[in-house]
Structure 1
Amino acid sequence: MRIIDAHVHLWDVGVVPLPWFREDLGLPRRALAETLGALLSASGVSAAVAVQAADSVAEAEWLTGIAVAHPLVRRAVLQYEPAPDLPLGRTAAMLAPAARHPGAPAVAGLRAAVPQFAADLSDVAGLDALATAAGEAGLVLELLLRPEQLPGAAALAHRHPATTFVVCHLGLGTADPGAAWFRDLAVVAAEPNAHAKTSGLVHPGRGPAELGRLLAAAVDAFGPDRLLHGSDWPISARHTPYAELTARIADALPPLSSADAAALWSGTATRLYRL
């Protein structure tokens, strides 16, 4: 079965600094495509989507250069950073067809990292303009959220039915799910243009039964054809080796038909990210 990893990060802080990077986070200073490529090949993963780890234009240039040339890391999702008169943010010049930027063909979407904002997302600068512009450009709009923001994400998707949205980490990540999360995940999934990644769910404090409960809720809410597998490498590698993470997700998923499994593991990502 074909596998696509729809959520990895690459960086080299000696080349392009990351403002949030600290030595005490337990992360490597270099998370390179060569290292990831070996892991992908060893695990039978045929392609990956790299999500920009910070928000500088220099980093976006570096990342898209990799995605254009690498045989396995084939698409990039750039971080949205508001900019005056640029609905797609500071990297808009890279995305405009007229610019003919060499990295543009590898860019499949933008990510708005907004967990620090209000629950209804009303204070995220330019968010609705971004959603409109992303839809018009045929770009996926990813959302990095905290659980309380899921209803706001649902409302955003409802206002922009022509835009494809992807919620990273099921809007949960390592947080403890409460009844509200299960309810609100279904609210997001009720919007037909909303999708979600299973990335960021595996961590030492979450056992197989709990992981299975989260994945079952996601499959029930979205269906396999609106879910995407993602590893969150190298952040996940602090506690779980790459191959083990993939196996843990596979073991925890509810029973799926071959067609449904193919959709979750690769089909949805192939469609959304033009792989």
Structure 2
Amino acid sequence: MRIDAHHHLWDLAVRDQPWTRDLPALRRTFTAEDVRPALDRNAIDATVVVQTIAVPEETPELLALAAEDPHVRAVVGWTSLTDPGIADRLAELRERPGGSTLVGIRHGIQDEADPDWAARPDVRRGIAAVGAAGLVYDLLVRPDQLAAAVRTVRALPEVRFVLDHAGNPVVGDGEAESGGLETGGLETGGLESGGLESGGLGVGGLEAWSRLLTELADAPNVAVKLSGLVTRTAEAPADELRPYADHLLATIGPDRLMYGSDWPVCLLAAGYDDVLTLAETLTGALSTDEREAVFGTTAARWYGIGPTA
């Protein structure tokens, strides 16, 4: 089973997406029907649709879609992590139409100013409640927040985590050009926690990122998405991303690495087919079983996605 473990959908007639206002390529509605030809063309059996905006109304809409759509098999939604009643909110979501497709929760930590936001006690209590509900927590962080994310993963071994977009590393000279949902507010200040220093390449550089991902790989309760990176490259994405992909494969390994298109955000740099081809190129040296893990079985196992009918 081939799975796209990360994409988005939104309808501007239903709700504005303020982060798209300066991104003409994304300033329109993107529906499941828009992406379906690419899914069919590339033999994608199932997808995970991921929240885009921190409002309570969006997740029930995505759940209802998943209940009807032949491709959308899982939803990573949103609810406030600091709500004292988060357990009740999660239970309510599961009672809604399509509630059985809720597999995880995500908050845009990257939009929080505090580099240690993920390590706050009230946030950790919320993440623990997500895990107690049997759900995965997706981490969306800036490079300067990655150290706090690593500490939180270690502090909550009972929770299953997925690191979105490999932690949004700064790739080459593209740190200020990627913009958009998954990279908004990118900051490259120094690492201030956990005794980790950024070295000479800045907080998001390859050296610092590699060290943090090596630390993260020691925690068995975390997987990583090979997603959202093409928008961080310039003219030679395969060459620029090769060191990052190689490090992920050497540390996290195929059994904890999952492919995601990040469609339609990927359209800022490349079409759906091109993003998939890039991921296949970066994993071309893997065995058949290892490639099946990256492009399907890791996501199926981590998110609990059963075989298609």
Q: Which one of the candidate residues 209, 231, 246 is aligned to 1:181?
A: 209
The 1-side partners of 2:34 and 2:17 are apart by: 19
Matched, 1:271 2:267: no
Q: 2:265 matched to which residue of 1?
A: 235
**Structure number with higher strand proportion:** 1
CA distance in 1: counterparts of 2:258 and 2:278, whole angstroms? 15
Q: How high is the TM-score relative to the length of structure 2?
A: 0.81
Task: Work out whether residues 78 and 105 of structure 2, in 8 Å CA contact, stay in contact via their aligned partners in 1.
Answer: yes
Once the 2 structures are TM-superposed, how far is the Cα of residue 82 of structure 1 from its aligned partner?
A: 4.0
Corresponding position of 1:46: 45
Identity of aligned residues (%): 31
Matched, 1:34 2:33: yes
* TM superposition outliers: structure 1 runs of 4+ over 6 Å: none
- Decide whether aligned partners of structure 1 residues 190 and 258 sit closer, same or farther in structure 2, where only a CA change above 3 A counts: same
User: Aligned to 2:162, what secondary structure does the other structure show?
Assistant: strand
- 1:152 aligned onto 2:140: no
Cα gap change, 1:112 to 1:84, in 2 (>3 Å)? closer
> Higher mean Cα deviation, 74-83 or 159-168?
74-83
* Selected match of 2:220 from 192, 198, 202: 192
Partner of 1:143: 139
Equivalent runs, 1:6-45 vs 2, <5 Å: 6-22=5-21, 24-45=23-44
**RMSD between aligned residues:** 2.0
- One-letter amino acid of the counterpart of residue 52, structure 1: Q
CA contact (8 A) 2:119 2:149 kept: no
Q: Shift of the alpha carbon at 1:109?
A: 0.2
Q: Secondary structure at the match of 2:130?
A: helix
Tell me, yes or no, if the aligned pair for 1:215 and 1:254 is still in contact at 8 Å.
no
Do 2:38 and 2:272's aligned partners in 1 also have CA atoms closer than 8 Å?
Answer: yes
Select the residue among 103, 112, 128 that pairs with 2:107.
Answer: 112
Contact 1:108 1:274 in 2 (8 A): yes
146-155 or 111-120: which moved more?
A: 111-120
Deviation at 1:73, TM superposition (A): 1.1
Alignment of 1:238-249 (within 5 A): 238-249=268-279
Q: 1:123 to 1:196 in 2, by over 3 A?
A: closer
Deviation at 1:148, TM superposition (A): 2.2
d(CA) in 2 for partners of 1:15, 1:173 = 32
Question: Secondary structure at the residue paired with 2:26?
Answer: coil
- Cα deviations by residue, 1:115-170 (Å, 9 ceiling, x for unpaired): 23433336757321122111111100001011222221121111111110000000
Assess, with a 3 A threshold, how the Cα gap between structure 1 residues 174 and 63 changes in structure 2: closer, same or farther: farther
Matches within 5 A, 1:88-107: 91-95=89-93, 100-107=95-102
State the distance in 2 between where 1:255 and 1:122 align: 35
Structure 2 residue 124 is matched with structure 1 residue 132: no
Secondary structure at the residue paired with 1:240?
A: coil
CA contact 2:56–2:78 (8 Å) conserved in 1: no
How far 1:239 sits from its partner (Å)? 2.2
Q: Deviations over 1:181-225 (max 9, x none)?
A: 110111111111011101111135153222111111111110111
